[in-house]
Structure 1
Amino acid sequence: MPTRKTLIAAALLTTVLMVLGASPAHAAELPPGGTFLDDDLMVEEGYIEAIAAIDVTRGCNPPANDRFCPEKYLTRAQMASIFVRALGLAPTTVGPFKDIEGNIHANDINALAATGITKGCNPPENDDFCPDRAVTRGEMAAFVARGFEVPPSAIDAFADDSDSVFEGDINALAAAGITSGCGSASFCARDPLPRAQMAVFIGRALGLTPMVPPERPPPPYPAVGDGKRIIYSNSQQRVWLIDQDNELVDTYLVSGRLGIPHNGTYSVYSKSVNAWAPYGGITMKHMVRFVRPGTWGNRWAYGFHSIPRYPSGKPMQTEAEMGSFRSGGCVRQPDHKAEALYDWASIG
């Protein structure tokens, strides 16, 4: 009977504001922006494209499958199907788990159980799989170590996993170059695993070369206003910075509130490096406030700013979530874009 390694080898001025499924491919053949619409310029994009090119992943929004949902946590059931495709395993209808009946991933889950890659989620019985539960980074280490038969390592790679039952698997993956942790000599074994990180684990385990697509060209800016201006499209959740010669300076996705503010011409009236929400100790950086001319003092003002942070320092959203409606009224930007807009925008 062929080993899993054999199977793997085979698979192988005044600022005015205007408010308004993939086929295998080599990196050079990928269209601008790549296969998916929601992972552009992410550090994991190359591995996402690499595993998509060999049909290990097919997106997250069938039948279109033009999105990958990179920040969404991977469920244990989804993980099973990823491994079955990556390892070239044969799905089977027979298995030990009683909680997967009717699950679209059931046969793939059974295949993982048959090979010993998964042992269930309720020891010592292990007759449940917990298909809808998010995979943790520690569990992923175990799945990869078993599935790809990664040699063990005696080197203690991370400082935060000494109490984890998966420490041996984590060390094995670190020694093999499959993981470099989550920063600051840590692995974050208990953290749920986003789909983007899954792509890196699987891509490295398969020895794939990241496939970074050419950058997607930005959409043309709407023909509104003149002179130096910021154009904000609420429907597209995008801003364009236009200079006094009508040349595009920059464009990028943001996160605002649906329908807020209303269409119209606004002026920048105030800026501050630091800003605070009126509740919860939430802070923002590089606030650029704007309002309709003639309404100072009697109308609610809006602002562009960085991603807000809780008192703990945790951001309220990720940069990958830009382009979606997530704000209560102002317009959130990636931190480096917020700083750049703050420096570029003039009051007046």
Structure 2
Amino acid sequence: MAGLTAAAVAAVAFLAYQASANAPADVSAKPRTPSAAPSAATTGGPAKPVRDPLAVPGNSGTGARVVYALSERRVWLVDEKNQATHTFSVMPSTVHPVPGAYRVTSRSASVKGSDGVRIEHVVRFTTVEDVTIGFSAAVDGSLPTPDPVRKTGGIRMKRADGDALWAFATIGAKVVVVA
């Protein structure tokens, strides 16, 4: 019986991974038809529901805002009607913001990042441990894993996502960080 339970858990985890990996990055993209979740008859137990990666986290407030989910490594651009207009995955920095509400404090079209990489569409919203935290896109399109020895605050995204964030998150725009 333990073997069947372990197999069921593995199958559900695999399907959840596939669903999140294959989700469109832009909510304006044509929605996919979700595949059927395994049933209790095929897994030996109840199927675990999979969270829609396009759904805005419920604990992120209301109104127009940028939502950054630390555990999901994902950002949503949410309009005043509480609908995501764009969502994308990010590569977190080594220094993380504390969950809470912030405002965009400054922006730079193009600068050199704290890791030495040329970046664009820099949108800053807080400082932690003397490290400025903000979103940015590497001009060369890279999304490297940050050096864990260096204190960096750049939350990296793809260039197209940087374009969308730059247009959305002007000075004073709300940024909500959730766990």
TM over 0.5: yes
2:78 is aligned with 1:242 = yes
Asked if 1 retains the 8 angstrom alpha-carbon contact of 2:113 and 2:154, the reply is: no
In structure 1, what is the Cα distance between the partners aligned to 2:159 and 2:77? 16
Asked if 2 retains the 8 angstrom alpha-carbon contact of 1:238 and 1:251, the reply is: yes
- SS of aligned partner of 2:105: strand
Aligned AA for 2:118? T
Equivalent runs, 1:196-211 vs 2, <5 Å: none
Alignment correspondent of 1:304: 135
Aligned AA for 1:234? L
TM superposition shift of 1:303:
1.1
Alignment correspondent of 1:221: 56
- SS of aligned partner of 1:338: helix
TM superposition shift of 1:36:
7.0
In structure 2, what is the Cα distance between the partners aligned to 1:259 and 1:233? 14
Query: Structure 1: any 5+ residue segments left out of the alignment?
Result: 1-20, 23-31, 43-215, 319-325
2:123 is aligned with 1:291 = no
Task: Give me the identity figure in percent.
Answer: 29
Asked if 1 retains the 8 angstrom alpha-carbon contact of 2:67 and 2:77, the reply is: yes
Query: Structure 2: any 5+ residue segments left out of the alignment?
Result: 1-9, 26-50, 147-151, 173-179
Would you say how many aligned residue pairs link Structure 1 and Structure 2? Answer: 129
The answer to which structure has the higher strand fraction is: 2
Q: 1:335 to 1:222 in 2, by over 3 A?
A: same
Alignment correspondent of 2:105: 269
CA displacement 1:272-308 (0-9 Å, x = unmatched): 211212464x20011111127xx9xx953211111x2
Alignment correspondent of 2:169: 345
Q: 1:245 to 1:301 in 2, by over 3 A?
A: same
In structure 2, what is the Cα distance between the partners aligned to 1:302 and 1:243? 23
Alignment correspondent of 1:51: none
- Give the TM-score taking structure 1 as reference length: 0.32
Q: 1:40 to 1:247 in 2, by over 3 A?
A: closer
- SS of aligned partner of 1:262: coil
Alignment correspondent of 2:158: 334
In structure 1, what is the Cα distance between the partners aligned to 2:133 and 2:84? 23
TM superposition shift of 1:34:
9.7
CA displacement 1:160-196 (0-9 Å, x = unmatched): xxxxxxxxxxxxxxxxxxxxxxxxxxxxxxxxxxxxx
Specify the structure having the higher radius of gyration (Cα).
1
2:143 is aligned with 1:317 = yes
Q: 1:245 to 1:35 in 2, by over 3 A?
A: closer
In structure 2, what is the Cα distance between the partners aligned to 1:265 and 1:228? 12
Alignment correspondent of 1:74: none
- SS of aligned partner of 2:121: strand
